[in-house]
């Protein structure tokens, strides 16, 4: 158990955002394993109010990169996973809080699980949050209840970035009251 905990912390600290990929496309099996890790994330009421659109088509990747304010490296990723919050699903049970918050949190938890498990499987990924939602929605034929939350370019890493600095625990914590 202690060893398992050490491995988890290694993964949490060793994972980096990867923005340079080798050409090889990861097998379908690996991609499904990564999405499965997302499914095992916590979610409000276990509703798992999110969906994933997997993009491999080069022309669509170019359009996605344009919608992401021309972050060109996205076009070089063999796969892009577009994680979308399902507002209808969470909204049906939880009303406005479900539509505006829980499904976004569900999608974010799932995306983080996917990025972390990609690293554990020897792949690289990044979280891309800067994009025009309407453009992504139109490109991917998303219904109006699916809100794109994160673009995750995915592939075999072709770089080993240094870890950027983190805040100290002391800086983050307030005891009892803020």
Query: According to CB under 6 A, which one of 164, 165, 167, 168 is a site residue for ligand FMN?
Result: 164
Residue 16 within binding range of ligand FMN, rule CB under 6 A: yes
The answer to whether 127 contacts ligand FMN (rule: CB under 6 A) is yes
Q: How far is CA 109 from CA 41, 150, 161, in A?
A: 6, 11, 24
Q: Which stretch binds ligand FMN (CB under 6 A): 43-51, 56-64, 84-92, 123-131?
A: 123-131
Task: State the Cα–Cα distance between residues 111 and 154, nearest whole angstrom.
Answer: 12
Nearest 5 degrees, angle CA 26-CA 28-CA 29?
100
For residue 13, with 0-12 CB atoms within 10 Å meaning exposed, 13-18 middle and 19 or more buried, which class applies? exposed
Applying the rule CB under 6 A, the residues between 56 and 95 that interact with ligand FMN are 71
Q: Report in angstroms how near the CB of residue 164 gets to ligand FMN at its nearest.
A: 5
CA distance between the termini of the chain: 35
Instruction: Tell the smallest beta-carbon distance from residue 162 to ligand FMN (Å).
Output: 9
CA atoms lying within 13 Å on the CB side of residue 159: 13
**Nearer CB in complex with ligand FMN: 32/159:** 159
Question: Among residue numbers 130 through 159, which ones bind ligand FMN (CB under 6 A)?
Answer: 130
Helices 103-120 and 87-97: crossing angle in degrees, nearest 10, is 130
Binding-site size, ligand FMN (CB under 6 A): 11
> In whole angstroms, what is the distance from residue 91 CA to residue 10 CA?
37
Q: Taking CB under 6 A as the rule, does residue 165 contact ligand FMN? A: no
| 128 makes contact with ligand FMN (CB under 6 A) | yes
Decide: 11 and 116 in contact? Cβ < 8 Å: yes
Q: Does 113 participate in binding ligand FMN (rule CB under 6 A)?
A: no
Under the criterion CB under 6 A, does residue 31 sit at the interface with ligand FMN? no
Q: Binding to ligand FMN by residue 17, rule CB under 6 A?
A: yes
Give the interface with ligand FMN as residue ranges (CB under 6 A): 16-17, 19, 71, 126-130, 161, 164
């Amino acid at each position: 158990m202690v060893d398992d905990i050490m491995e988890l912390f290694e993964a949490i600290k060793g994972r980096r955002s990867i923005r340079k990929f080798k050409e090889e496309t990861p097998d379908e099996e690996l991609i499904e394993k990564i999405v499965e890790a997302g499914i095992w994330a916590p979610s409000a009421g276990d509703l798992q109010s999110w969906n994933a659109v997997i993009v491999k088509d080069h022309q669509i990747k170019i359009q996605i990169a344009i919608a992401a304010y021309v972050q060109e490296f996205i076009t070089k990723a063999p796969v892009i996973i577009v994680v979308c919050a399902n507002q209808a699903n969470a909204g049906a049970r939880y009303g406005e809080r479900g539509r505006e918050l829980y499904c976004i949190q569900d999608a974010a938890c799932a995306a983080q699980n996917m990025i972390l498990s990609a690293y554990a499987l020897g792949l690289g990924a990044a979280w891309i949050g800067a994009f025009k939602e309407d453009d992504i929605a139109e490109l991917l034929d998303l219904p109006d209840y699916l809100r794109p939350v994160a673009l995750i370019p995915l592939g075999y890493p072709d770089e080993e970035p240094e870890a950027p600095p983190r805040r100290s625990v002391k800086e983050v914590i307030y005891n009892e009251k803020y």
